[in-house]
Amino acid sequence: MREQLPRPGPLQWVWYALGGGLPARLAPWVLADTTGPGWVWRHLARALVQVAPLVVICLVVVPVPFAYRVSAAGGGLLLGLLFSVAFMTETTEHRVVKAGYPPGTAGRVRAERAERARLERHARYRRDGAGSFD
């Protein structure tokens, strides 16, 4: 059974999503958040939190017809997510370093997890040499 990591509260998570640091006791959670299964989706959720205030301002404050505001907000959202995806590994690595881990930790942990998953996927073909074509 997996050990339950301490999690940030809702306000702490919003602060973290906006790029703020978390207390040192939450460092293991930051590493799990940026390297665990589904880390890409969690990264996109954080990116949406970062872009949301600008989208809301664009929709509410800009004094042009609503159709223009929607198209500008949609374009801004699309561009924001595009840049977020383009720099996803660097951004998550920066979060892990900010949490106190050495540079390269997030990439190494993800690579180790991918290798373990690959070995487990192929393990059924490796029993006693049966089915091994290497």
pLDDT tens, 28-73? Answer: 999 999 999 999 999 999 999 999 999 999 999 999 999 999 999 9
Looking at residue 116, what is its pLDDT? 87
pTM for the model:
0.83
Residue 1 has pLDDT above 50, yes or no: no
- Burial environment of residue 86 by CB neighbours within 10 A (0 to 12, 13 to 18, 19 or more): exposed
Question: Which residues lie closer than 8 Å to 126 by C-beta, 6 or more apart?
Answer: 132
